[in-house]
A and B are shown apart, each in its own frame.
Chain A
């Protein structure tokens, strides 16, 4: 079994756990954080930064999100969802670009 399949399979397990595993935030909330789309305003700043500028996250971003009534466990899940989501989009984009670049070579190289 090619090594990359094991890597991708392990990644897929992570994505599934985060999106559909047992949790305190609803699967819908997690899906929105994962895709960084349609996130409600009190959470938007935090989730948007986790996705696009994580070094800019501040205590105030967490305070705002907490003040909207979300528990720490829900925030834990939603921040993890946002991080896994952004990294997944990069992984998928890279693999798609590679497939495009090697599209014609692959069958010949297959063993």
Chain B
């Protein structure tokens, strides 16, 4: 168990189209909200971890952000692991706290990839994740790569297109309760089925959104925050699993690194998957969430679809999951998309989620995946 690393502050902007926004200013907004939440000032931050930005690609984003925001940290770097980035940032911060290197680490993510890039520009930029020699000449996109996984997973486990649609519907139902979500209008299975095909079997509403937004988290040493009232959210466990980057080189289209990353995280935390009260799991596509839920062990193979259709992921369900609406409906603003999963987990564990509060959870699970189910990082968070 990792002792002593707590999440002391969380902050996020609303998510959607934020006109006149900029990657750096969005991130600063999230930082200020997280500092206010933690009751800390900028000079107390001695570590800064940033991610990446499509609209402001830079070799030293963490240094630039620190300069821009007036931070003078002792530890400062950026992480690029696609959708696993946010969870990896939390894992790295917990390690730096546990080893005594830092006291208060700011993790900040954000991008204006909707207003700062055209939709075509964002899709084209994302397609560069494909292998330059052995994938991109064939017109591969991120959705097409996930569609390949979906085709195989559906073939082997009897998952249907309606099972996938049910995930989009469930995420929308959750997002409707979040005032800052990008998409809140109700959605039906028929709406998903009628949305245009992007890469069969995935349709438009099987795909996450392209959004502007930013989220920040502060990870602190527990003893660096004396006299705090209320309960803190502790980082109890973390783990990673990496099997490939390109889907052509994936050892399997049904077994991924999430099995390994979650097993390590649960083991480190000394808990079992059955003890998890709430989960915030990467949902770049409907198939992403289905594969991860079944691979991590929340459901048996081929069983998640029916359970989700019956409301398993709703706030009153057996496993309240992506209670903010996830990347599919709350929004996807790059690395911030994954950080919002962390923010939502903390919000739920604190009992501060208002009308979307899912009971009184004590143990939360967060999972991020980058690439084409390539890079995985799992976190176990607990209310102490």
The yes or no verdict on A and B being binding partners is no
Enumerate chain B interface residues (CB-CB to A < 8 A).
none
